[in-house]
Structure formats: C-alpha cells, structure tokens
Amino acid sequence: MSDPAFLVPAALGTLAVLVRLPSLRRNARDPLLRSVAAYLLTATGVLYFGAPSMIVKVNETTGVPNFAAPLLYSVLMACCGSGIILIINWRGGPPVRIRRATRWCAATYAGLAAAMYVLFALGEAPVERLQDLDTYYANTPYMREMIVLYLVGHSAAAVLMASLGRRWLSAVSRELRAGLGLMIAGCTLALGFDLCKFAAVGARWAGADWDVLSTKAAPPFAAASFCSILLGFGVPLIVQRFEEPWRDWTRYRRLGTLSRLLHGLTPAVAVVRMPLFATVGVRRLHREAGIHDGLLTLNPYFDFDLRARALADALADAPAGGATDEDAAAEADALMVIAAVDALRADPEGRVVASFKELQPEPGGRSDLVRLSRALERLLPTEPRSPAPEGEYA
C-alpha cells in the first residue's frame, strides 16, 4: 500500500489525540481518559511507522537494515495492550480487579515488545524488505519467531477485545451499543489481517508463494480495522458531547408557541436581555424562565372551572382520537391559558389583579411545558403575536 493509505488514517488518529488532550490535562488521573489517549497514540504510531516512506527513513536513520520491523511490531504490541486496557477501564468494575487486569495486560505486552528486539538482534536480516519482510524471512531463525510472535499477540488482542465487547454489548444501548458494534467490527477486520499474514507465512513454510496475501490483501484490513475501532471509540464521545445541546435546542424550539403567546405579558422591568452569543442551554433556560414569568402574570386570570369543563370534554373525546390523559390535560391547560390571556388584555386597569388574594396552581409543570406548547399549536390557527412591548424571552 502507498503512503496515503497509512498517513490519512494516521492523520485522523492524530486529530483525535489532539481533541482529547484538553480533557486529559484537566483529568490527568482518570484511568479511562489515559487509556483512551494511550490507545489512540499507539494506534496512530502503528500507522505512521507502517508507512513505506517511514520504514525507509527509520532504516536509514539507524543504519540497521529492517530495524523498522521490530520498532513497528513493538508499537503494535503497545497498541494491542492499550486497546485491551481501554476495554477493561471502559467496562468498569471493582477498582482492585481493574488494576490487576491492567497490570497483567501491560506486563504481558511489554514483554512481547521487548522480545521483538531480542529476536531481531539474534536473527540475520541483511536484505532490506519494505513490504514483504514477513514472507521473505519466514524461514529465517529468530526472525521467524519474531514474526509469529507479533501475529499471535495481535490476534490474541483482537479476539480478547471482540470477546469483551460482545459480552458487554447486551448491557448497553444507544450510542454506546453502536460504538461497541463498530469496535467489534474493527477487531474482526484485524483478524482478517492476521489470517492473511498467517496464510502467507504458512505458505512459505510449505514451499509455496502466497505473498500477495501479505503485501496486497492484509494492509487494507489493517487500515479499515483502525478506522472502525476509532469510530467505535468516537461515536459515544461525539454523541454525548452533542446530545445535551440537541435536547436543549429541541426543548427550546418546542416551547416556541407557548413563549410567543406569553410574549410581552411580563412588565418590561422584569425582562432580562439575552446575550447575543448565549449557548442554546442558556437560551432554553431563559425561555423557560420567561414562560414561568408569563404564567405568573396570568395567574389571577386562570379559570379552573373552565379548565375542568375542557378537561372533561377532552377526556370524553380522547378514546376516539387516540389521545392520552396527559394530552387531554395539556389541551385543557392550553384553553385556560388562552382564556387568561384574553382576560388580561380585557382588563387594562388591572382590577382582577387588585382583588386577587391567593396564588393559584400553575398549569402543568416543567415536564409538561412542552406538552402545553404543543397543545397550543393545535388550538391556535396562526402563530400568536402579542402587540405588547418588546420582550426578550420569545
């Protein structure tokens, strides 16, 4: 494969590492964040050091033919170990068990990485091979063992990560389930890489030439595996990052009809100006506060007898229309609010307010404001626009 096939995914991995750095600095002791950063860093390193131009550069810099091989394989072992550790920390459990499993995994793959250099030093690999080192030296003492060892370590990590992810899959839902599914798919693709390599090396042992499996078929599996696993880790993080703003925006938008109906009912001195660049969460809170202020202004004009009659009518019609009891209550509240707005506008001198003695219950609650707004959408023929002075919570 050419350099772009390695460097483009590596660039994506580098970007992911940079995105996670601020969180890592703020929570340097968080084992999950550390394991995410370690996995992304080592996986990106595998792609960088696997690029043909980087292999040539490493060999030239060190002056040792094929020194890029143990370097690449050791980084791959670090990636495998950090991937398993990430799954262990992501899944959670008793801290003692997590620490024990983490140490065992780190020690195992650190030992495998060290063994790569020992076996390379003991072997003889004078001819530089950029793409077919696995098959070219498949029958060379010590080099053969190094090749088999990295394939076994990589296959074991892929199987273990897929197994842990599959066990966890039934216990999670939504974005985490999608992320785990992508990770499992990535581990399966990684096994495809190993199978191609094993088949090509085994063919060399048998005296055949299946090098094309190692040089042409295996690398695409590696690149696709990395992208799938990277997406698997990224999907839950991205969804969690944007889920709350999306909920705020959805609620803000759905409260629009109710907000516009109550727009301008609150005295101008009570209106709080909204900053131009306020977040959607702040705008949602501001809109809700304005709605509650408007409902408080309407409180003296609420006619609960009207609401009771409207609720009875709505409940009577509910079975035929398929509406729920909550929908019927929201429709009754909406009719009462509309009537209260009309009553307030018909009382410019505030006689009702002057004779008002006791605060009445507010229609609905925080959880029902959206339902109330949607009921207003059905009842009002056009978007309500009050001629009251300019306000800020509409």
User: Using one digit for the tens of pLDDT, what is the confidence trace for 200-254?
Assistant: 999 999 999 999 999 889 888 888 888 888 788 778 777 877 878 888 898 889 9
User: Which tops the pLDDT comparison, 388 or 217?
Assistant: 217
pTM exceeding the 0.75 threshold for the entire prediction: no
Domains of the chain are: 3-243 (1.20.1070), 255-379 (no CATH)
CA-to-CA dists, residue 368 to 102, 322, 363, 365, 392, angstroms = 47, 19, 9, 5, 22
- Stronger pLDDT, 108 or 366, i.e. the higher one: 108
pLDDT tens figures, 113-138:
999 999 999 999 999 998 889 999 99
Q: Which amino acid is at 36?
A: V
Inform me whether the pLDDT recorded for 305 exceeds 70: yes
What is residue 318's predicted lDDT score, i.e. its pLDDT?
Answer: 65
Among the ranges given (138-147, 229-238, 301-310, 361-370), the one the predictor scored with the smallest mean pLDDT: 361-370
Closest CA to 75 of 108, 39, 24, 125: 39
- Give the long-range contacts of residues 210-213, CB within 8 A, separation 24 or more: 210/135, 211/132, 211/135
pLDDT averaged over the chain? 84
Q: What is the pLDDT of residue 268?
A: 55
Are 280 and 308 within 8 A, CB to CB?
A: no
- 100: pLDDT confidence band, cut at 50, 70 and 90? very high
User: Of residues 363 and 286, which shows the higher confidence score?
Assistant: 286
pLDDT at residue 1, as a whole number = 58
| Residues whose CB falls within 8 Å of the CB of residue 307, separated by 6 or more in sequence, listed in order | 332, 333, 335, 336, 363
Q: pLDDT at position 389, please?
A: 37
Q: For residue 255, give the DSSP letter.
A: T
**Tens digits of per-residue pLDDT, 343-363?**
998 888 888 877 776 777 777
In terms of pLDDT, which residue wins out, 151 or 388? 151
Q: Which residues contact 280 (CB under 8 A, 6 or more apart)?
A: 245, 248, 249, 252
Q: What is the pLDDT of residue 133?
A: 92
Q: For the ranges 88-102, 280-294, 343-357, which has the lowest average pLDDT?
A: 343-357
pLDDT at 382: 56
Distance of alpha carbon 274 from alpha carbon 288, whole angstroms: 13
Cα pseudo-dihedral 255, 258, 263, 266, rounded to 10:
-100
pLDDT of 162 > 80? The answer is: yes
Q: Whose CA is closest to 389, among 272, 294, 277, 267?
A: 267
Cα separation values, 348 from 50, 66, 342, 351, Å? 79, 90, 11, 8
Which residue bears the tokens 């990636």? 79
Helices (H) and strands (E) in the chain, counts: 16, 0
Average pLDDT over residues 304-333: 81
Q: How confident is the model at residue 326 (pLDDT cuts 50, 70, 90)?
A: confident
